Amino acid sequence: MTDLKGRTALITGSTSGIGLGIARTLADAGANIVLNGYGDVAGALSTVQSSGAAAIHHPADMRQPQQIEAMVHAAAERFGGVDILVNNAGIQHVAPVESFPPDSWDAILAINLTSSFHTIRHALPGMRARGWGRIVNIASVHGLVGSAGKSAYVAAKHGLVGLTKVTALETARTGITCNAICPGFVLTPLVAQQIADIAAKDDISRNAAQQRLLAEKQPSGQFVTPEQLGNLVLTLCSPLGAEIRGAALAMDGGWTAQ
List interacting residues with ligand NAD (CB under 6 A).
13-19, 36-39, 61-63, 88-91, 111-112, 138, 140, 183, 185-186, 188-191
The minimum distance between CB 29 and ligand NAD, in angstroms, equals 20
Can you tell me the distance from the alpha carbon of 155 to that of 167, in angstroms, rounded to the nearest whole number?
Answer: 18
Residue pair 119/66 in contact by the 8 Å Cβ criterion: no
Q: Is the dihedral of CA 26, 163, 131, 247 positive or negative?
A: positive
| Residue 38 bears catalytic tag | no
In the complex with ligand NAD, the residue whose CB is nearer, 7 or 157, is 157
Neighbouring C-beta atoms of residue 105, cutoff 10 Å: 18
Q: Which of 92, 101, 75, 77 is nearest to 9 (CA)?
A: 75
Q: Is the dihedral of CA 188, 225, 249, 51 positive or negative?
A: positive
Can you tell me the distance from the alpha carbon of 146 to that of 171, in angstroms, rounded to the nearest whole number?
Answer: 29
- Under 8 Å CB-to-CB from 96, ≥6 apart: which residues? 148, 149
Out of 105, 153, 185, 223, pick the active-site residue: 153
The minimum distance between CB 153 and ligand NAD, in angstroms, equals 7
In the complex with ligand NAD, the residue whose CB is nearer, 53 or 160, is 160
Can you tell me the distance from the alpha carbon of 105 to that of 157, in angstroms, rounded to the nearest whole number?
Answer: 13
The minimum distance between CB 252 and ligand NAD, in angstroms, equals 8
In the complex with ligand NAD, the residue whose CB is nearer, 14 or 210, is 14
Neighbouring C-beta atoms of residue 92, cutoff 10 Å: 17
Can you tell me the distance from the alpha carbon of 245 to that of 251, in angstroms, rounded to the nearest whole number?
Answer: 17
The minimum distance between CB 99 and ligand NAD, in angstroms, equals 21
The minimum distance between CB 5 and ligand NAD, in angstroms, equals 25
In the complex with ligand NAD, the residue whose CB is nearer, 145 or 191, is 191
In the complex with ligand NAD, the residue whose CB is nearer, 80 or 209, is 209
Phi, psi (degrees; rounded to nearest 5) at 144: -120, -35
Q: Which residues pair with 85 in a beta bridge?
A: 10, 135
Which residues are marked as active site? 153
